Amino acid sequence: MSKGEFDLVVRGGTVVTASDTFEGEIGVRDGRIEAVGRNLGRGTEEVDATGRLVLPGGIDSHCHLEELGEDGGVQEESFASGSAAALAGGTTSFICFLPQWKGHTLAQSAPGYEERARRSRADYSFHQIITDPTPEVIEKEIPALVARGVRSLKVFLTYDPLRLTDGEFLKVLATARRLGALVTVHCENFEAIGWRIQALLAAGLTDPLQHAWSRPPVVEREATHRAIALAELVDQPIQIFHVSCAEAAAEIARARARGVKVWGETCPQYLTLSHDDLVQPDFEGAKAVCSPALREKGEAERVWRHIQDGTLDIVTSDHCGFSFHSAKKNPGSSSYGQGGAVARPDGMPAFNAIPNGVPGIETRLPVLFSEGVSKGRISLNDFVRLTAANPARLFGLAGKGSIVPGADADLVVWDPDAERSVQNAALHHAIDYTPWEGLKVKGWPTVTVRRGEVTARDGEVLAQPGSGRFLPRGPYSFIAPTGRVPDGFDASRYA
Ligand code: URP
Ligand code: ZN
Ligand code: ZN
């Protein structure tokens, strides 16, 4: 192939960003977008996007890959398989989780995890989970971590080995404020869930549906309210992860209206699935067990409304894959559950022993596009905002999430008219099911370009493991505190 003016030109498509939609060509050199315009010179490689959309590559700012348990167990979704699925589904970057095991320092937790991540085919960054904010973690380890570009912390208000007390949560918030990091929060009330679980088990109610009964919306609403109140006390910006219901979203909307810096994320499962998916023959309801839980039919439409009004401004996958046959039916010691389970006569685990999580890194964009754009709930620009531009802005992923000269050439050529039925057999993840099996979707990615390299085409993944890059995140002003603290006293300077 003779050398062109550009390394790659994407031609003939309709370019869509968070704010604009226009006919244009994109010229790429050295992995970056060099030009956006008309009549660009030839590319050494050319991608024909005629009749297609050209979007920024998706950014999935919440997914779980190859997480290591304290018992030596490892999640079956590896960085190689999960990132292949990401690219095939139009996602070029993701943020996953560095764990902390309770009773251990960050350095002791999950040794070699960052080495494992180097096998990724997509670009990646980390959130650091904090389960044990000891003085060493707070004073030494978190500052060192932020200095090397891990600029977000994740805390859980539920799950037995992971959750923080309110006092511990305040310490993490104050630390993040001092260092200029974002805090992301899993909001559910641990004690309330434990109390309901005991009652359900005592009543002999052990099916997957009872997972949802053990943690109804009020449990999520209470913890969302509390997380926001404590963040407001510290004046520390936060993101509420995986909002599943309108009650929790309304807490975010109210706080934003009074000027609190709080953002809300939701996921395709909360926009499309319901209790019905937990009530399936042959224990298949276990496939839909995730936390927060799926809600009653009709709730998803209310969550869509909070996307439309801007309260929920990022849609991630929360990909957390546990295969049905090997893990959902035969749980090991996953952290993502709330133990004390009883035996069932059919040998299946009681609802509270089923590991929590659904796979969705590859289906996130097609499901959201189909249910959102194709069905008229959101615009094309909203789609880009929710899946690429806002994650880049909120998490400080410089050079990602937009189509402008100088940005990384992360692009997805999208066929808005392609009609497909979601089939697990055609997906690239390592999990033996998808909760969207058989869903008819309109809109599918055809070519994924990551930093100028064609990494997936028509379902074939071309990128090699190890071709993804770690994305260090420097300081950025978007998540600066408001400067408003009660009584003008900034306790985080002393606490
Ligand atoms: O059920 C879920 N969401 N599993 C993943 C872990 C988490 O809480 O994000
Ligand atoms: Zn969570
Ligand atoms: Zn998660």
More confident residue, 494 or 245: 245
Number of domains in the chain: 1
Work out the pLDDT band at 342, boundaries 50, 70, 90.
Answer: confident
**Which amino acid residue places its CA nearest to atom 9 of ligand 1?**
318
> Edge-to-edge strand order for the sheet containing 182-186?
58-60, 91-98, 123-129, 152-156, 182-186, 238-240, 262-266, 312-315
The CA distances from residue 167 to 141, 173, 175, 178, 290, in Å, are 19, 10, 13, 17, 27
Q: Are 473 and 150 in contact (CB under 8 A)?
A: yes
Nearest-atom number in ligand 1 for the CA of 291 is 1
- Residue 370 one-letter amino acid: S
State the distance from the centre of ligand 3 to the C-alpha of 291, rounded, in angstroms: 8
Using the predicted structure, report yes or no on whether residue 333 has a pLDDT greater than 70.
Answer: no
For position 433, what pLDDT does the model report? 98
Q: Which two tokens stand for residue 426?
A: 């055609």
- Residue 471 one-letter amino acid: L
Q: What is the CATH number of the domain that holds 326?
A: 3.20.20.140
Q: What letter does residue 243 receive in the DSSP assignment?
A: -
Q: Which residue range forms the structural domain that includes residue 228?
A: 58-369
Is residue 379 one of the residues assigned to a domain? Answer: no
Q: Are 272 and 367 in contact (CB under 8 A)?
A: yes
Is residue 490 one of the residues assigned to a domain? Answer: no
Mapped onto helix, strand or coil, the DSSP state of residue 411 is strand
CA-based nearest residue to 295, from 311, 271, 313:
271
For position 160, what pLDDT does the model report? 85
Is residue 415 one of the residues assigned to a domain? Answer: no
State the distance from the centre of ligand 2 to the C-alpha of 90, rounded, in angstroms: 23
Is residue 85 one of the residues assigned to a domain? Answer: yes
Is residue 486 one of the residues assigned to a domain? Answer: no
Using the predicted structure, report yes or no on whether residue 364 has a pLDDT greater than 70.
Answer: yes
For the CA of 290, the nearest ligand = 1
For position 334, what pLDDT does the model report? 66
Using the predicted structure, report yes or no on whether residue 2 has a pLDDT greater than 90.
Answer: no
Contacts of 327 (CB under 8 A, 6+ apart): 76, 334, 355
Q: Are 253 and 303 in contact (CB under 8 A)?
A: no
For position 340, what pLDDT does the model report? 65
- Residue 363 one-letter amino acid: T
Prior bond to 292 cis, omega within 30? yes
Is residue 216 one of the residues assigned to a domain? Answer: yes
pLDDT in tens, 205-231: 999 999 999 999 999 999 999 999 999
Run of H or E residues at 472: none
**Which amino acid residue places its CA nearest to atom 5 of ligand 1?**
357
Is residue 228 one of the residues assigned to a domain? Answer: yes
Is residue 29 one of the residues assigned to a domain? Answer: no
pLDDT in tens, 425-451: 999 999 999 999 999 999 999 999 999
How many whole angstroms separate alpha carbon 270 and alpha carbon 36?
36
**Which amino acid residue places its CA nearest to atom 2 of ligand 1?**
357
Q: Which residues line ligand 1 (CB under 6 A)?
A: 64, 186, 242, 290-291, 318, 320, 336, 356-357
Segment 49-56 mean pLDDT: 98
